[in-house]
Structure 1
Amino acid sequence: MIRPAQLQDIPALESLLEEILQFHHVGRPDIFRESGQKYSQADLTSMIGNPDQLIFVYETAGQVVGHLFCQIQEAQSQVLQPVKTLFIDDLCVSSQVRGQGIGKELYAFALSYAKESGCYNITLDVWADNTKAVAFYEQLGLKPQKIRMEEVL
């Protein structure tokens, strides 16, 4: 079941966010710290129920095993079309239940939510070294919108 996050979900959200951090730290220890939190407990508390910071969870058998953090953004630019976008800030499924279609369900939920909200598109960021995530998103039909390049100095 996918539902809006509630305050009692914070420990599960923190656990999933820690799992993501560890994964990224292994792939890019030059960028990602070994420990820490993307969002503090206070951040999560203020985000839950905030219509500008949407958090949904995937719950099965009374346990939160996935989450979807997203925001509706509107382009404010002199050169870009004024489109409404659903930006997926974070989509995570616990490593214990990956491969069961939960990520696909979370994405389908985001797609439906975006359509109902009158969005033009869905965007997200994915680290290039996370080849499984890149392949997952491509399988769902996403295509690169832009590429950020780097040279480590």
Structure 2
Amino acid sequence: MEIRRAGEKDLPGLGRLLDQVLKVHAQGRPDIFRAGTRKYTDDELREILADDTLPVFVAVREGAPDGEILGYAFCVMRDYAGSNNLQPIRTLYIDDLCVDESARGHHVGMALYQHVVSYARAQGCHNLTLNVWACNPSAQRFYEAMGMSPQKTCLEQML
């Protein structure tokens, strides 16, 4: 397996996995997520892939055809150097990490996560952050197994 920066040739695979992620979220929180949609259009994906502050990494099987990806990690580089109240640190935020349903249990997620950690260290980041929906307890267990711990909690009251 190879992990590399995503490119335009990966759009079909990214779209397929974005569909899988949306399905999980729409089943878990249909009051928030609309089934049959996805987070980014192809045009938005092209803009993201061209932005170095929004690195996207893909895991691919060696020798696989273009567009066939096993998983991805969408990231956001956040720099707080100009903040009035926060320490001047850099944070790499994992906006989305997905492993194809057919590749789960084969350590693709672990390899992607470790690659992101190495990238963040090389960029001089202070920490790595992400959000996990409460309707996805298996994702929370995975991130805790990777060594993450809660930084803050988002609460809601249904009205």
Report the TM-score when normalising by structure 1: 0.96
Displacement of 1:13 in angstroms is 0.2
Q: Which moved more, 1:105-114 or 1:52-61?
A: 52-61
Q: Say whether residues 1:74 and 2:76 are aligned partners.
A: no
Alignment-mate amino acid for residue 39 of structure 2: K
Determine which structure has greater relative contact order: mean sequence separation of CA pairs < 8 Å that are 6+ residues apart, divided by chain length: 2
Q: Percent identity?
A: 42
Q: Secondary structure at the match of 2:60?
A: strand
Q: TM-score by structure 2 length?
A: 0.93
After superposition, the CA RMSD in angstroms is 1.0
1:78 positional shift:
2.2
CA distance in structure 1 between the aligned counterparts of 2:7 and 2:84, rounded to whole angstroms: 38
Structure 2: stretches of 5+ with no match in the other structure = none
Number of aligned residue pairs: 153
Q: Which residue of 2 aligns with 1:56?
A: 57
TM alignment of 1:1-153, pairs within 5 A: 1-61=2-62, 62=64, 63-75=68-80, 76-153=82-159
Q: Which 4+ runs in 1 deviate beyond 4 A?
A: none
- What is the deviation of 1:34? 0.7
**Offset, 1:79:** 2.0
Partner Cα distance (2:60, 2:99) in 1: 11
How far apart are the structure 1 equivalents of 2:46 and 2:85? Answer: 36
Distance in 1 (alpha carbons) for counterparts of 2:48 and 2:37: 18
